[in-house]
């Protein structure tokens, strides 16, 4: 399988249409039989289908779908020869792992004919080919990379024919039946939902001008994001076909053909595939992969383009499945003549072999990892009950809140180039101490001096938070969130792969950090992935940007929330980070550093030595946080309820070469100005390569105003829009305490 002159390459040179793939069937089955597979030719009464199996003892059963049909008149312009290559390579990889004796289970390669014109997988499902399998994996070539959650819609095609008597005056025109249906369909298109399509073509009618057509043959296709939408549209189309026949006095017959279901692909399997790909063969770092990188990764991932229907969608309704896309060209797309040439190149073959390796690694994870297998099936059962498109359903998944949520996307913290920046937690009004946690926070790897998973110092180990774990932070302890959600977060994290091992590793690393055995660089820069650095952002708290909920668990379990033995590495003034604007650059931070603006009741600011009283501090949680309030059972003094939230925005990071503070004052009726909000912005705009800064230029400051203050501000005027806000910027760039007017006029609006 390592060279282009293989059996699968010759399939490209001998393209065959669906249900007639005799050459491909013979070549593949002969090859797999020579490799030690138990092969069934013409499986399930489909002459060009096959089953190739290899097993070692009792265990789970994984499968790969091999396609090999071509397009009429275009050859392998969809690259199904490469699907066969990838699946055969994957099957061989798993077979060799089973043969070694250390792995138990079975691998099956399913030869699936006629994907383009006949829905071979649908027929195989009906015949029972997938009944005893645990998962179905496949990879498809295309012009793009990383389309893991693309929308594969539902498709129904049918042949609709109108017939009548072919006579000049006494006959009825069969073509009129088609034309009237065509016109009514055009009117229906005004009411079609987004991503829904109807296609039709007149395939045959009379070719004599002065004879009324006795027959009009046509082909129709209905494509919708979901099966539910498809069923509704099919009903409307049946009404149109009936009405067209009635209005024209003709008869019509309907013969359904393709019945493709929308795909509900498995995110557990996709994450395993993606993790392996990025860990071992990051495309950006490979000769072949560099040319297929996206310019805007976030846009492509969060808003994937709709792709063509596939009968792998039917399989995904039967058992956990994936349909990975791998790129072979930038110049043409599937079903174009040039793609047939691209699918026969050395590059395309290498890409298919590489995809096969990742498919094999994914399948091996299913065979030897109990957690992966359980979570894979658990997600499939949930998805099977859900109506709607794949993207809609992912929003309800406990494993992953979905693409439209800013959760840690597909192990993005262990994958360098898939960093998608997220907003900071917003700090509001120091006098009210209101925190707003709109999104989850980032994790970052430690550098060469990090504590390894085996508790030894090494030059190559990385310490990262287990991928996908939710992050909840609490004030002053390095975390911000709501204690009432501890249980939900713990349940969520327990669902992830290798949870028990990850928790042990994380607890050990956190304890090491608390004990001072891991060094920290003040103002380190995880966004630019500079080694040996961590961010210490002491305006809010001494904060590693990696701590997550386990940090809080460790503190609670040991009844200790003080980090008294924290070691700060001296001699480094922030590497490339500009640091905290409330401290002079290069200031050594420790656990006694003031956590301005968290003021103590008796005066002064809290420090990290004060965090033992965290549950008794006076905090509430603003709009967008995990809850509306913190623990109601704590002993705290009463506070004024919040009356309004205002947002200051249109402050651009690009205007300032250092970190800065957005300070907002209001003017009272007596002319006095009172500060109502401060928000620190950690900025590294002058740092080349800091994507986070350059992606998020528009900074906001949220201001929480309590009822008493609001009444004072409004005075006798009930229109709060007349309240005068004054916004100023404080930065080390200006000399520390000096306040200046913003470079551009900010906008203040009430939410």
CATH class of 7-151+264-371: alpha beta
CATH architecture of 642-750: Sandwich (2.60)
Which residue did the predictor score with more confidence, 278 or 233?
233
Which residue did the predictor score with more confidence, 8 or 3?
8
Residue range 317-324: average pLDDT?
A: 95
Consecutive H or E run containing 667: strand 660-667
pLDDT confidence band for 386 (50 / 70 / 90)? low
> What does the pLDDT read at residue 396?
35
Q: Which segments of 396-443 does DSSP mark as H helices, in order?
A: none
Distance CA 475, CA 481 (A): 8
Closest of 257, 254, 273, 377 to residue 324, by C-alpha: 273
> What does the pLDDT read at residue 294?
54
> What does the pLDDT read at residue 511?
41
Distance CA 258, CA 477 (A): 58
> What does the pLDDT read at residue 27?
96
Q: What are phi and psi of 680, to 5 degrees?
A: -85, 140
Highest mean pLDDT pick, 91-95, 302-306, 503-507, 592-596: 91-95
pLDDT of 232 > 90? The answer is yes
Please confirm whether the linkage preceding 597 is cis (ω < 30° from 0). yes
> What does the pLDDT read at residue 413?
25
pLDDT of 453 > 80? The answer is no
Distance CA 265, CA 152 (A): 9
pLDDT of 288 > 60? The answer is yes
Structure tokens at 628: 């509306």
Consecutive H or E run containing 274: helix 267-281
> What does the pLDDT read at residue 359?
96
What letter would DSSP give residue 83? Answer: H
Closest of 303, 280, 324, 293 to residue 417, by C-alpha: 293
> What does the pLDDT read at residue 115?
97
> What does the pLDDT read at residue 259?
94
Distance CA 405, CA 395 (A): 8
215-224/251-260 β-pairing: unpaired
Structure tokens at 20: 């007639």
Q: Which residues contact 108 (CB under 8 A, 6 or more apart)?
A: 51, 52, 53, 61, 62, 63, 64, 91, 133
Of 38-42, 340-344, 482-486, 576-580, the least confident: 576-580
Distance CA 247, CA 245 (A): 6
Find out if CATH 3.40.50.2020 is the number for domain 154-260.
no
> What does the pLDDT read at residue 585?
52
Do 433 and 439 meet the contact criterion of CB atoms below 8 Å apart? Answer: no
Residue range 461-469: average pLDDT?
A: 31
> What does the pLDDT read at residue 723?
78
pLDDT confidence band for 295 (50 / 70 / 90)? low
pLDDT over 90, % of the chain: 35
Which residue did the predictor score with more confidence, 675 or 13?
13
> What does the pLDDT read at residue 97?
93
pLDDT of 198 > 90? The answer is yes
Delimit the domains of the chain by residue range: 7-151+264-371, 154-260, 421-631, 642-750
> What does the pLDDT read at residue 82?
97
How does pLDDT run across 687-727, given as a tens digit for each residue?
Answer: 444 444 555 567 777 676 767 777 777 665 555 666 788 89
Average pLDDT, the chain: 68
pLDDT of 608 > 60? The answer is no
Q: Which residues contact 356 (CB under 8 A, 6 or more apart)?
A: 1, 85, 86, 87, 88, 89, 90, 92, 93, 139
Please confirm whether the linkage preceding 271 is cis (ω < 30° from 0). no
pLDDT of 516 > 90? The answer is no
Which residue did the predictor score with more confidence, 256 or 617?
256
> What does the pLDDT read at residue 461?
28
> What does the pLDDT read at residue 210?
76
Distance CA 750, CA 59 (A): 60
């Amino acid at each position: 399988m390592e060279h282009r002159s293989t059996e699968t390459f010759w399939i490209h040179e001998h393209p065959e249409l669906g249900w007639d793939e005799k050459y491909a069937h013979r070549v593949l089955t002969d090859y797999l039989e020579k490799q030690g597979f138990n092969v069934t030719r013409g499986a399930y009464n489909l002459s060009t289908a096959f089953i190739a199996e290899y097993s070692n003892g009792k265990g789970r059963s994984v499968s790969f779908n091999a396609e090999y049909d071509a397009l009429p008149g275009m050859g392998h312009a969809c690259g199904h020869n490469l699907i066969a290559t990838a699946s055969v390579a994957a099957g061989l990889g798993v077979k060799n792992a089973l043969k070694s004796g250390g792995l138990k289970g079975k691998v099956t390669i399913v030869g699936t004919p006629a994907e383009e014109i006949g829905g071979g997988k649908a027929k195989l499902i009906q015949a029972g080919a997938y009944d005893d399998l645990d998962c179905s994996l496949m990879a498809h070539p295309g012009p793009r990379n990383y389309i893991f959650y693309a929308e594969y819609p539902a498709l129904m095609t049918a042949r609709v024919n109108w017939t009548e008597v072919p006579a000049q005056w006494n006959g009825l025109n069969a073509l009129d039946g088609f034309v009237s249906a065509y016109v009514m369909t055009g009117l229906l298109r005004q009411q079609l939902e987004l991503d829904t399509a109807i296609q039709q073509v007149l395939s045959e009618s009379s070719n004599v001008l002065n004879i009324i057509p006795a027959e009009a043959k046509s082909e129709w296709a209905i494509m919708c994001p979901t099966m539910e939408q498809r069923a509704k549209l099919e009903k409307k189309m049946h009404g149109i076909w009936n009405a067209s026949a009635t209005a024209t006095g003709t008869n019509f017959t309907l013969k359904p053909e393709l019945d493709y279901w929308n795909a509900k692909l498995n995110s557990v399997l996709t994450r395993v595939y993606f993790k392996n790909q990025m860990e071992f063969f990051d495309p950006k770092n490979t000769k072949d992969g560099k040319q297929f990188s996206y310019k805007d990764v976030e846009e492509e991932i969060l808003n994937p383009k709709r792709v063509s229907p596939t009968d792998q969608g039917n399989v995904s309704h039967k058992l956990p499945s994936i349909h990975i896309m791998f790129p072979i060209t930038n110049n043409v797309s599937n079903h174009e003549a040039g793609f047939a040439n691209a699918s026969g190149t050395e590059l395309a073959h290498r890409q298919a072999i590489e995809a096969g390796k990742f498919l094999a690694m994914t399948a091996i994870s299913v065979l030897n990892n109990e957690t992966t297998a359980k979570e894979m099936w658990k997600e499939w059962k949930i998805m099977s009950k859900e109506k709607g498109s794949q993207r809609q359903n992912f929003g309800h998944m406990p494993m992953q809140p979905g693409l439209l949520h800013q959760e840690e996307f597909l192990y993005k913290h262990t994958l360098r180039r898939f960093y998608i920046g997220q907003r900071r937690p917003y700090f509001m009004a120091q006098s009210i101490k209101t925190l707003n946690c709109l999104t989850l926070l980032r994790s970052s790897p430690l550098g060469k001096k990090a504590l390894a998973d085996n508790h030894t110092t090494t030059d190559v180990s990385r310490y990262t938070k287990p991928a996908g774990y939710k992050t909840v932070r609490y004030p002053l302890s390095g975390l911000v969130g709501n204690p009432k959600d501890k249980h939900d977060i713990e349940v969520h994290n327990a669902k992830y792969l290798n949870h028990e091992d990850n928790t042990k590793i994380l607890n050990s690393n956190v304890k090491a950090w608390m004990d001072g055995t891991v060094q920290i660089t003040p103002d380190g820069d995880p966004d630019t992935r500079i080694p040996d650095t961590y961010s210490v952002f002491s305006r809010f708290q001494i904060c590693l940007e990696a701590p997550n909920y386990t940090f809080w668990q460790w503190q609670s379990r040991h009844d200790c929330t003080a980090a008294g033995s924290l070691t700060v590495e001296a001699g480094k003034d922030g590497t490339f980070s500009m640091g905290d604007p409330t401290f002079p650059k290069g200031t050594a931070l420790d656990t006694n550093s003031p956590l301005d603006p968290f003021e103590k009741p008796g005066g002064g600011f809290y420090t990290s030595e004060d965090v033992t009283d965290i549950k008794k501090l006076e905090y509430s949680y603003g709009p967008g946080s995990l809850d509306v309030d913190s623990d109601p059972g704590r002993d705290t003094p009463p506070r004024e309820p919040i009356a309004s939230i205002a947002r200051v925005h249109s402050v651009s990071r690009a205007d300032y070469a250092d970190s800065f503070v957005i300070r907002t004052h209001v003017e009272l009726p007596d002319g006095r100005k009172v500060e109502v909000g401060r928000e620190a912005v950690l900025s590294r705009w002058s740092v080349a390569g800091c994507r986070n800064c350059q992606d998020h230029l528009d900074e906001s400051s949220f201001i929480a105003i309590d009822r008493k203050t609001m009444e004072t501000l409004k005075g006798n005027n009930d229109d709060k829009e007349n309240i005068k806000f004054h916004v100023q910027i404080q930065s080390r760039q200006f000399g520390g305490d000096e306040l200046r007017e913003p470079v551009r006029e900010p906008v203040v609006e009430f939410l």
